[in-house]
A and B are shown apart, each in its own frame.
Chain A
Amino acid sequence: MKAAVITFPGSNCDRDLAMAFEQAGADVTRVWHKDTALPEGTDIVGVPGGFSFGDYLRCGAIAARSPIGAAIAGFADRGGHVLGICNGFQVLLEMGLLPGALLRNAGLKYICRTVALRVETTDSPFTCAYGEGAELQIPIAHHDGNYTADADTLARLNGEGRVAFRYGQNPNGSMEDIAGILSENRRVLGMMPHPERAFASIHGSTDGRTMFDGLMSAFAPA
């Protein structure tokens, strides 16, 4: 599996995400936001957490319109896989690759702690290695993770089984406890929690590693 991990000015989880892909066994290329193309043969793009462009205007808004943004959108349109974590999720929403938006946390505070997450679907390359309904321990670290969408969008996400994760206890006011959602073709996942921060035993949980191992098996040559 060939992974491309993007770095924007202000990204701060890009190294962690690259390491998670590497330790799962992927070939990783780091890609700068001013690049206009992804490396040849890229299987999956990782859009990392952080504070791209200082969260100016809106979280993820400027990054979504950066030169590499157009390349990521084209890659996704051609059926490529994209994983957006935290600020990466915000970027994918701003690009329109996923529906809805993320508002300021209902309690207005930046929240940094490990939360319980429920796996809502195993029907995706990201969640295929989890047990149906499994409960995970994964850290969150965000100020704007309050997912919002109109009633039609929510109905569609639910009806098509595109909610990937829900919070056990809602930390941020997110509608219907939504923590992560999939695209229509199930190849784009955006999520606020950080699976790359629950990768090794030293992290206190390895529940995030399962996602990367699942991706490796999904991309393994038949």
Chain B
Amino acid sequence: MKYRVFVTLKSGVLDPQGEAIRHALGALGFEGVNSVRQGKMIELDLAETDAAKAEDAARQMCEKLLANTVIESYRVEPA
């Protein structure tokens, strides 16, 4: 089973990199970019064939390592 994990800073946590990207877009002439939030995407290829079990495992991976839940939230999607 393949999954995509999206890890982003929680809303309310300042994203200095997102802000820098927003400024750079403005400098390139892209107007009206109200906000930019950046994060990371992680692809997982799991041997487990049971979708429920595989997704549960992916979530546990997020809780234990892939995301720092103090500042980040995550989303798991089938790939």
Contacts and interface: CB of A to CB of B under 8 A. Distances in A.
Contact of B13 (A58, A94, A148): A148
B16 A103 contact: yes
A146 interface: yes
B47 interface: no
B60 interface: no
Given A61-B68, A100-B70, A108 B14 contact: no
Nearest to B12: A150
B65 A57 contact: yes
B68 A94 contact: yes
Contact of A103 (B13, B64, B65): B13
Contacts, number: 36
A108 B20 contact: yes
Interface string B3-35: 000000100011011001000000000000000
Contact of B14 (A94, A99, A107, A148): A148
Interface string B40-67: 0000000000000000000000001110
Nearest to A153: B70
Interface residues of B, number: 12
A173 B17 CA distance: 13
A104 interface: yes
Nearest to B17: A104
B71 interface: yes
A19 B14 CA distance: 37
Interface string A57-74: 110010001000000000
Contacts of B70: 93, 99-101, 149
Nearest to B70: A101
Q: Which of B9, B13, B14, B64 has the largest number of chain A CB atoms within 10 A?
A: B14
A106 B14 contact: yes
Interface in A85-125: 93-94, 99-101, 103-108
A100 B14 CA distance: 14
Contacts of B16: 103-108, 146, 173
Contact of B68 (A58, A99, A146): A58
Contacts of A101: 68, 70-71
Interface of B: 9, 13-14, 16-17, 20, 64-66, 68, 70-71
17 contacts: A57-B65, A57-B66, A61-B65, A65-B64, A101-B70, A101-B71, A103-B13, A103-B71, A105-B16, A106-B14, A106-B16, A108-B17, A148-B13, A148-B14, A148-B71, A173-B14, A173-B16
